[in-house]
Amino acid sequence: MTDVAEDTIKVLNDLIETCKDGEEGFKTCAEDIKVAELKALFVKRAAGCATSAAELQGLVRSLGGDPETSTSVSADLHRRWVDLKSLITGKDEEAVLNEAERGEDVAKKSYSKALEKDFLPANIRAVIEEQYQGVLRNHDQVKALRDQARAQS
């Protein structure tokens, strides 16, 4: 395996971890929210993250690598902190949306960092760019919903 392939696999596996983190984060938000429309949105976003992870895992396999299959330790710790914080402060709509936006901030940073890599093959860069655009849309939607919830409180 070439260094470029190994480096590309590392970038893809980092993004798979980000997608898995997003999937679990959105599932947690869906569990914590009482508003049916938001619950449905978070379930849909979790499924979208799972689809993105599967697409990236396929690319890793096509390069001869072993794809990542789990979330990051830092995201697991963050979810535990959120669960503890939610027990203390309650799981209001704004708090859940704040956490969802924070997660999307992390995803934006991960995808942006990946796109800085000049060694990525064009076909893989195109997939990452397309997924990044989805992350940006998710972030903007969650931020708008959070701002709306904040204005109503």
Structural domain count of the chain: 1
Range of the domain at 58: 3-152
For the domain that residue 111 is a member of, what is the CATH number?
A: 1.20.1260.10
43-75 per-position pLDDT tens digit: 999 999 999 999 999 999 999 999 988 766 555
- Strand, coil or helix: 34: coil
Angle subtended at Cα 55 by Cα 125 and Cα 98, rounded to the nearest 5 degrees: 85
H helix or E strand, kind and range, residue 78: helix 73-89
Confidence of residue 124 (pLDDT cuts 50, 70, 90): very high
Between CA 25 and CA 64 the distance in angstroms is 29
Between CA 131 and CA 53 the distance in angstroms is 10
1-58 per-position pLDDT tens digit: 779 899 999 999 999 999 998 898 898 888 878 889 999 999 999 999 999 999 999 9
Confidence of residue 113 (pLDDT cuts 50, 70, 90): very high
